[in-house]
Amino acid sequence: MSSRLFEHSHLYANEDEASFIRNLFPEGKKIVSIPIGKGGKTVGFLNLIQGEEEKLPEENDLKLLSIVATQTAISLENLRLLESTQASYAKLKKLQEQLVELERMTAEAQRSAEIGHDLNNFMMIIRGNLELLTLGLNQKDFSRVEKCVNAMNEHLSNAEIFVKGLMDFSSLKTEKALTNIPEIIERVLTFVEPQRRFKNIIFKKFFHQKIPPILVDAGQIQQLFYNILNNAADATLSKVPEGGIITIGINFLENANFVEISISDSGVGISEGDLAKVFKSRFTSKKNGHGFGLLACKRIMENHNGTIEVESQKGIGTTFKIKLPCSSKVNNPNQM
């Protein structure tokens, strides 16, 4: 057996492989064994067992078998790499899922801390005015009493609106009805104009004469306008504390069947780098901002199949453009 076996020993990579094959088969058999390997690494053997009277394969046949063995090795290696890749992908996917969950938990913790901070600010201001109110009553200083009552009322209203803005829109029931958009704007302006933040703000209004009623959730749209007007006032007063201008326009795009509302301010503007972030979670350019206002605006517009866009120039001002589709069909309440 050994003489026959080593007659084609040039096909082996080394003596150890030949010895390994010799021990696998009984004596008296002619064995032609071709290593299956690639790059000096053997992963198996292609063995031909022949009887004593049979001739060994010709050299060309052996070369062909060697090619087959090499291709087999390549296929086995590719299969091993595929299995390894799939295992690595499964591990990576699991790590990504863990990372997403960790980020979610971190975001929730940060959000809770920010909400607590803002609500605490409201309560501190109200408590401070309550103490001044008590002092004014004791001193019979009724002008001070009136100021304290007005201040507390204003901050309680701000706190109420802030809490409404924190509603989870994923579970918010939406009840839409045909609503007049200019009337909503006027109601919001009536509410904000007496507030200290808007004291030095001049409002300019340009309303198209033929604005049709559209199907919206009036409460959510009011919240949308309030958030944008608050940002506009802050941006304007940051630039010129003595006051500025907020311009509100309402147009009916009849061909596109949309009502478009634009709200522009003469404020500090938004940098080009920040424009892409304005509707992202927790983005704010304010020192003590919570970053939920514009995120809420985006979700409200998604709920109404509308769009909201922002244009801004640093140092010149910012314009929010809102488009709401016109519809006279009242749908069933849906979830956001």
Residue count (the chain): 336
> CA-to-CA distance for 301 and 228, rounded, in angstroms?
13
Q: Which tens digits make up the pLDDT trace of 198-227?
A: 888 999 999 988 899 999 988 889 888 988
Q: Which long-range contacts (CB under 8 A, 24 or more apart) does 21-27 make?
A: 21/45, 21/47, 25/1, 25/49, 27/1
Q: In the chain, what are the domain boundaries?
A: 2-84, 104-165, 173-335
Is residue 217 a contact partner of residue 169, using CB atoms and an 8 Å limit?
A: no
- Euclidean distance between CA atoms 266 and 263, whole angstroms: 11
Q: pLDDT tens for residues 35-82?
A: 776 666 666 666 666 666 666 667 777 777 777 777 777 777 788 788
Collect contacts of 89-94 with beta carbons under 8 A, ≥24 apart. none
- Model pLDDT for residues 219-238, shown as the tens digit of each residue: 889 888 988 998 898 888 88
Question: How far is 322 from 301, CA to CA, in rounded Å?
Answer: 8
Return d(Cα 44, Cα 33) in angstroms, integer.
10
Task: Measure the CA–CA gap between 169 and 296, rounded to whole angstroms.
Answer: 8
Decide if pLDDT at 178 tops 80. yes
pLDDT recorded at residue 335: 40
Reported as a single tens digit per residue, the pLDDT across 101-152 is 777 676 666 666 656 666 776 787 788 878 888 888 888 888 888 888 888 8
Q: 72 near 109, Cβ under 8 Å?
A: no
Identify which of 25, 15, 13, 14 has the alpha carbon closest to the alpha carbon of residue 49. Answer: 25
Residue 165 has pLDDT above 50, yes or no: yes
Write down the architecture of domain 173-335 according to CATH. 2-Layer Sandwich (3.30)
Q: Which residues of 78-104 are buried (b: 16+ CB within 10 A; e: fewer)?
A: eeeeeeeeeeeeeeeeeeeeeeeeeee
For the chain, give the mean pLDDT: 76
